[in-house]
């Protein structure tokens, strides 16, 4: 009799174990696989409805890339867009400068929920505040690049944050020579300045900024439109500073016959 009871108990335990394993497998199977395309849809919808920098005056939202952080669950997505005015967040009560401002936003989506969203590495879109930077003091400058608007090339200003320097004119020109960043290229910004051009020196005295460049600035440059675009990019970038009223462009120490059509 005792043997029968023991056998029955063993059978019951085995059946219960099989049932629990099956139930656990069913629960695991019910966890949805969240692919990159779904993550992108969630991120785009969130940006358009919740990200205050984009909602306020953003446009031309463009998906750049996605990285899978946790398989089938967590993704980091990068987007580019433009704003019609400087700054971040809701600027309705601010006097924001009216200048085309390219942005890059990195959004992390975890199982269909946006958990972080940071614009340009400095603004937390979820918290609605700037991310504190305690180690590096920064300053804002404008760079001038080329953008096709209605099939016409125009010189447009873009904002950059750079480490604080006592020589902002040099820093601005050096950044200009590097050209548009990846997220700026994604919104069709370009430069007319030939690759390889280096800044030899820049000097500001009596309101006149004299900028001397390496020979690459003038090599192979032909046509009035190209010459004008290069001059405009350099001159406008320097003229943003209150100490500059006039710009002289030199190549290897010479100013005559420089950047001629």
pLDDT at 13: 62
Q: Are residues 171 and 96 in the same domain?
A: no
Q: How many CA atoms lie within 13 A of 15 on its CB side?
A: 6
What is the rounded distance in angstroms from the CA atom of residue 169 to the CA atom of residue 200?
A: 13
Q: Are residues 244 and 157 in the same domain?
A: yes
pLDDT at 125: 93
Range of the domain at 117: 36-130
Supply the CATH number for residue 149's domain. 3.30.300
pLDDT at 30: 47
- The last residue of a domain, from among 67, 99, 130: 130
pLDDT at 23: 52
3-state helix, strand, coil in the chain (%, to 5): 30, 35, 35
Task: Answer whether residue 18 is part of any domain.
Answer: no
pLDDT at 149: 77
**113 DSSP β-pair partners:** 110
Task: Answer whether residue 261 is part of any domain.
Answer: no
- Cα 35 versus chain centre, distance: 24
pLDDT at 26: 47
What is the rounded distance in angstroms from the CA atom of residue 194 to the CA atom of residue 218?
A: 8
Beta carbons of 172 and 182 less than 8 angstroms apart: no
For the chain, the straight-line distance linking the first and the last C-alpha, in angstroms and rounded, comes to 110
**How many secondary structure helices (H) and strands (E) does the chain include?**
6, 12
What is the rounded distance in angstroms from the CA atom of residue 153 to the CA atom of residue 191?
A: 11
Instruction: Calculate the alpha carbon distances from 143 to 10, 19, 84, 253 in Å.
Output: 79, 67, 15, 24
- The last residue of a domain, from among 111, 130, 149: 130
Question: From the first residue on, what is the mean pLDDT of each consecutive set of 10 residues in the chain (261 residues)?
Answer: 56 58 48 79 94 93 88 88 88 74 90 90 90 70 88 86 86 93 86 92 92 89 85 95 93 80 64
pLDDT at 253: 87
pLDDT at 163: 81
pLDDT at 134: 47
Beta carbons of 82 and 156 less than 8 angstroms apart: no
When divided into structural domains, the chain yields a total of: 2
């Amino acid at each position: 009799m005792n043997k029968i009871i023991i056998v029955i108990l063993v059978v019951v335990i085995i059946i219960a174990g099989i049932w629990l394993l099956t139930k656990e497998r069913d629960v695991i199977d019910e966890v949805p696989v969240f692919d990159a395309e779904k993550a992108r849809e969630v991120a785009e919808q969130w940006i358009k409805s919740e990200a205050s920098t984009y909602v306020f005056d953003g446009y031309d939202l463009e998906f750049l890339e996605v990285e899978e952080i946790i398989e089938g669950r967590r993704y980091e997505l990068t987007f580019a867009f433009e704003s019609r005015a400087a700054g971040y967040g809701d600027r309705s009560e601010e006097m924001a400068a009216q200048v085309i401002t390219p942005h890059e936003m990195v959004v992390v989506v975890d199982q269909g929920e946006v958990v972080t969203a940071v614009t340009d590495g400095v603004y937390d879109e979820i918290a609605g505040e700037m991310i504190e930077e305690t180690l590096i003091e920064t300053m804002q400058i404008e760079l001038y690049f080329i953008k096709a608007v209605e099939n016409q090339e125009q010189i447009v200003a873009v904002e950059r944050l750079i480490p604080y320097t006592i020589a902002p004119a040099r820093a601005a020109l050096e950044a200009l020579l590097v050209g548009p960043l990846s997220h700026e290229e994604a919104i069709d910004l370009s430069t007319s300045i030939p690759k390889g051009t280096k800044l030899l020196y820049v000097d500001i005295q009596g309101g006149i900024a004299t900028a001397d460049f390496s020979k690459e600035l003038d090599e192979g440059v032909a046509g009035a439109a190209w010459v004008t675009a290069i001059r405009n990019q350099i001159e406008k970038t320097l003229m943003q500073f209150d100490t500059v009223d006039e710009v002289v462009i030199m190549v290897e120490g010479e100013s005559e016959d420089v950047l001629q059509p």
